[in-house]
Structure 1
């Protein structure tokens, strides 16, 4: 856990590689499925919440699914079952994917998450609030700074993807800060409610709105919260969770703001990483032309074609 005197580290460096790899769930798509994995998990999480699931169960289930998908992508419980695997066989596959990336997680949290990867009867699904689709359709602003032109990197992420990733990061980071993972998760899932209706003009737009910013955000947030009125006590739970958002004075606030900051920067870092990718990495390290019965022939073809 973090040293509360301020003398210790502010974040767990050992989780860096996991968080970098998890970030790609905002870009992975599959045929027959609408949106990225992150976008779909965002919708699934809200459907579970409106269906009456406990926020802690949702936080653990969605995070465990995201971690398994880091390597398996959409080879998920539903596909494995459709392909004929038994529940036990599917669980073995999902846990294998989970195990490949979670060695640095807090051991107690890791065990709780791993136990969730047992396919079975799906929890009762509730309605998908309108703000879910609106956030998925709302692009993030890109890189903005007051007084300077924005920098856009295509394709942009959307707000549903960002909220999901911050929620999953928040759960992974929670043990380090001594935070309640379910509260961090719920706050992160709801922290951009205003952008369901409010276009994202970034830091620049916020500064130009000046004193109008907070009242406008409050109105737009209220529209999203109003959609939860028919979901029992969910609105009240979300409002309690969102109380951590203004600052880092609580363990949950620190876990949330660490997750939010990390995701914002890693989103840009992946563009830069792609721009500096070399053929040495692709062919030598990642073995694009990999071992198999025709590798020798493949190598000769590339050599004789002078590729790359």
Structure 2
């Protein structure tokens, strides 16, 4: 599962011309628009996870971009479903069947206002009381993180016999307080002391007020799994949250430690083609070929 979860986390870092935010931020906004419109959480979860897995292979080659260039709608749907199926190869048969029985949905309607604030709110980085902050640039947003946790949680849910839609919705909503509460990290939370819980509770309440009654009740029910890992859903959610936080740091460490040999030989930066022998000769002459 780990390579798959890494590719899901990478959706935080994929952007395209003419589109605001990362793929993860846009999937986050689209999912919340569907939740706020009263769509069933299971349909939202399956459609969003399907779109996320397709994007791990195809990036932003979606209906809008490919349709503009004349690719037929049916062919776009086939290609994206094939991409999602390939990405889902590490899942067991039941999880793949659950996922591929859904339909990827196009964005529609406006998400609640707190979504834009979470997309604009940076994550704190790594903080610890008594130590300086480790800031990794560029910082991910809370929308990035919540989408990644929601998708990873749904993918991990079968391992604990958890309801994927509950884990997904809880993942989307587990940082609602940060729509109003800037992220000060572990060190800032410790400093707030007894004021932390009431401040968070008020911020969450204000965010929930932006949802209609039905969707609000569904979100509140899903968020009941957050306090502990005593339930299957709680375990899947906290596993996804922990992995995403660590994989975010691992991404920076892997990038900083990448070798030229890995990039050229394993990743095939200069890949096979009619001019590759010439390209390799240029690199060798310049001393860049390991």
Give TM class, smaller chain.
over 0.9
**CA-atom RMSD, angstroms?**
1.5
Q: 2:279 aligns with which of 298, 301, 305?
A: 298
* 3-state SS, counterpart of residue 57 of structure 1: helix
Q: Compute the TM-score of the two structures, normalised by the length of structure 2.
A: 0.96
Q: Structure 1 residues 80, 108: closer, same or farther in 2, change over 3 A?
A: farther
Q: Is the 8 A contact 2:43 2:102 kept in 1?
A: no
* 3-state SS, counterpart of residue 218 of structure 2: helix
Question: Per-residue CA shift, 1:245-289, capped at 9, x if unaligned?
Answer: 000111111111011000000000000000110010111111111
Residue 267 (str. 1) matches residue 248 (str. 2):
yes
* 3-state SS, counterpart of residue 278 of structure 2: helix
Matches within 5 A, 1:1-308: 15-116=1-102, 122=106, 125-228=108-211, 231-307=212-288
* 3-state SS, counterpart of residue 148 of structure 1: coil
Distance 1:22 1:186 in 2: 17
* Ranges of 4+ aligned residues in structure 1 off by more than 3 Å: 115-119
* 3-state SS, counterpart of residue 150 of structure 1: coil
Q: Compute the TM-score of the two structures, normalised by the length of structure 1.
A: 0.90
Distance 2:98 2:173 in 1: 24
Distance 1:29 1:234 in 2: 30
Aligned residues: 289
Question: Per-residue CA shift, 1:80-137, capped at 9, x if unaligned?
Answer: 2222222331122112322332211121221232233567xx47x3332111010111
Mean Cα displacement is larger for which, 98-107 or 174-183?
A: 98-107
Unaligned runs of 5+ in 1: 1-14
Question: Per-residue CA shift, 1:15-54, capped at 9, x if unaligned?
Answer: 1111012111010101111000001100010111122211
Distance 2:171 2:142 in 1: 11
Q: Is the 8 A contact 1:91 1:117 kept in 2?
A: no
Q: Is the 8 A contact 2:38 2:214 kept in 1?
A: no
Distance 1:30 1:70 in 2: 14
Distance 1:92 1:186 in 2: 27
Shift of 1:232: 4.2
Q: Is the 8 A contact 2:174 2:226 kept in 1?
A: yes
